[in-house]
Amino acid sequence: MPPRRTPSGAEVLRLLTGDLVPAPVRGPDGRYRPPIPVGRRVELPGRGTTFVREVPGPLGAPTVLLLHGWMASGGLNWFRTFETLGQEFRVVAPDLRGHGRGLRSRRHVRLSDSADDLAALLDELGTGPVVAAGYSMGGPIAQLLWHRHPKQVSGLVLCATAADFQRGTVAGRSFDAWLAGLAGAARLTEPLAALPATGARLLRRARAHRPAGFLEWAAEELRRHDVRMLVESARMITRYDATGWIREVDVPTSVVITTRDRVVMPATQGELAAAIPRTRVVEHVGGHLACSRSTFAAPMLEACRDVAWHAA
């Protein structure tokens, strides 16, 4: 029997990006690039610098704030939906703390801090109240944004997520303990990673243009993550529990249930929908990486439309 071949990085990324790797698009400058908004850095007073991708949408359209999952970025999580949502909404997709080009901090990562970052970002962009759409880890952060800054949120779209990540997910107490140890090790070794990280940043700046191919761009996005903050984020997700207040949500809400999910169980996603009054459920046949499928844009648009209509 021949030895099993280890898949290449490109093959792994191709698997993760779903049923079809999107073709590059030609920009106004005549150059080809991945079909993702270029994005820009935004300074948040007293907090630091973050990064956001935007689609302007029609004049006067409501704003959808897209919050990505763990190990993703605004571009990686939502690349299937930018064009579709941008036809009816203003779209804002930031990189969250420690992910991609999101805000960096030496303090321990807390999901509530990410929610506060978003409130500051919305103030800077002058969006007014938004439909906060969170995928996986982005779901708790969207919930916390409503809980801590209710005037900033006109509605919620919660995808492949839960109100309680201590039950109904693959995480458990032993996993939490392992993450705690890994987070501590990451803090101890963080200074050793500073020099390679600086070198990587200099190489990126030396490039004249970002990659034209989607897979090359996606690999570059993954290399931008802060490992220590990533591990601490994972631990905060496993400990998240909003069951004490989730029933108080009083804005229009849709829950997109990924029916073949083995990370956040469909039944757990259903419990989230049942806990929030008058929630609409949109089912999507797919696993936890359903957002990478070309079929994901349609249920996402349906959920955002419904919430925006009821919020108007």
Task: CATH number of the domain at 212, please.
Answer: 3.40.50.1820
Query: Can you tell me the distance from the alpha carbon of 264 to that of 248, in angstroms, rounded to the nearest whole number?
Result: 22
Residue 21 carries which side chain, given as an amino acid letter? V
Q: Is residue 158 part of a domain?
A: yes
Q: Exposed/middle/buried for 205, CB within 10 Å: 0-12, 13-18, 19+?
A: exposed
Residue 35's pLDDT band (boundaries 50, 70, 90)? Answer: confident
Higher local confidence (pLDDT), 277 or 205: 277
Arithmetic mean of pLDDT, 210-214: 75
Q: Name the residue among 303, 255, 302, 294 with its Cα closest to residue 275.
A: 255
Q: Is residue 4 part of a domain?
A: no
pLDDT at 188 over 90: no
Return the H-helix or E-strand segment holding 42: strand 40-44
Q: How many CA atoms lie within 13 A of 172 on its CB side?
A: 2
Residue 2's pLDDT band (boundaries 50, 70, 90)? Answer: low
Q: Name the residue among 277, 258, 280, 278 with its Cα closest to residue 269.
A: 258
User: In percent, how much of the chain has pLDDT > 70?
Assistant: 80
pLDDT at 97 over 50: yes
Q: Is residue 3 part of a domain?
A: no
pLDDT at 9 over 60: no
Helix 111-125, helix 227-238: angle, nearest 10: 110
* Residue 166: both structure tokens together: 């201590």
Sequence-ordered list of residues with C-beta below 8 angstroms from that of 175, at least 6 positions apart, any chain: 238
pLDDT at 178 over 50: no
Q: Is residue 2 part of a domain?
A: no
The answer to whether 232 touches 256, Cβ cutoff 8 Å, is no
Residue 28's pLDDT band (boundaries 50, 70, 90)? Answer: confident
pLDDT at 127 over 90: yes
* Residue 37: both structure tokens together: 């908004």
pLDDT at 202 over 80: no
Arithmetic mean of pLDDT, 250-264: 97
Q: Which domain holds residue 211?
A: 11-311
Q: Is residue 238 part of a domain?
A: yes
Name the one residue in this structure whose structure tokens are 């919305």.
122
Higher local confidence (pLDDT), 12 or 177: 12
- pLDDT tens digit string along 217-234? 999 999 999 999 999 999
Q: Is residue 6 part of a domain?
A: no
Q: How many domains does the chain have?
A: 1
Q: Is residue 130 part of a domain?
A: yes
